[in-house]
Amino acid sequence: MSRRRTLGTKKKIALLVSAATVAGGGAFVMASTSNAAPTPKSASESTVCLGLATALGNNQKFIADQRANPDAQSEARIANREAVVAEIERKQEASGCAVGESAQDSQTAQPSQPAESAQPPAASTQPSQPAASAPAGNTGGGAAASGQQVCNGSTVTLSGEGGAPAASSNQFPAGTKLKVTNLDNNKSTTVEVTSVSGSCALLNNAAFEQVREPGKFLIRRALIEKVG
């Protein structure tokens, strides 16, 4: 009788150990599943990621152009923009975007944006801009008269650079003043071009903060005017 009880007890212990092992394995699987890192979002899935990818592409293009056509200041400019690239990649990671994703030649690849500027929801902001919107045929350039719209259809993003509000441009020389208006919230800023970039108007962090919408790194519907 005692032998039967002993065997019965051993069997019970074995069954309990097996059940605990199975339960533990199930909990491990569930924990592993719940702790799996979310898949980074691409530029096509998020406006924030698109803005960061555009900014990254602009800066990478600027670096490539400087290396292809160097001058006495190229090394300093490249070092500055490489620091900007690193900052943008940190922002991509923090925003859940694919780190290192860039939109090369982003400004030349977006002529389809003017159609977006003509959407009905913009009606409430358009009446305040009649004079600037009139010269629709003006596509930008350093020869534009003061007060005229330039870079028609261009989007605007940020360079990631610090300092006082400023802009960089591939069309206007240093010292040119540009007024950038975000037609989605009717906020505007007037800044001076201080350096060269791969975009018509690329705002630094301080300037972009003055016109951005919360959480967005891209202004799809921008009005850019040369004012000085």
Assess contact for 88 and 161: CB atoms under 8 A.
Answer: no
pLDDT > 70: percent of the chain: 64
pLDDT tens readout for residues 143-179: 455 578 888 888 898 888 889 999 999 889 999 999 9
Top CATH class of 47-226 equals mainly beta
pLDDT of residue 53: 87
pLDDT for residue 94 is more than 80: yes
In terms of Cα–Cα distance, which of 50, 71, 157, 153 is closest to 110? 153
pLDDT-derived band at 45, boundaries 50, 70, 90: confident
Domain range list for the chain: 47-226
- Least-confidence region, from 57-71, 80-94, 132-146: 132-146
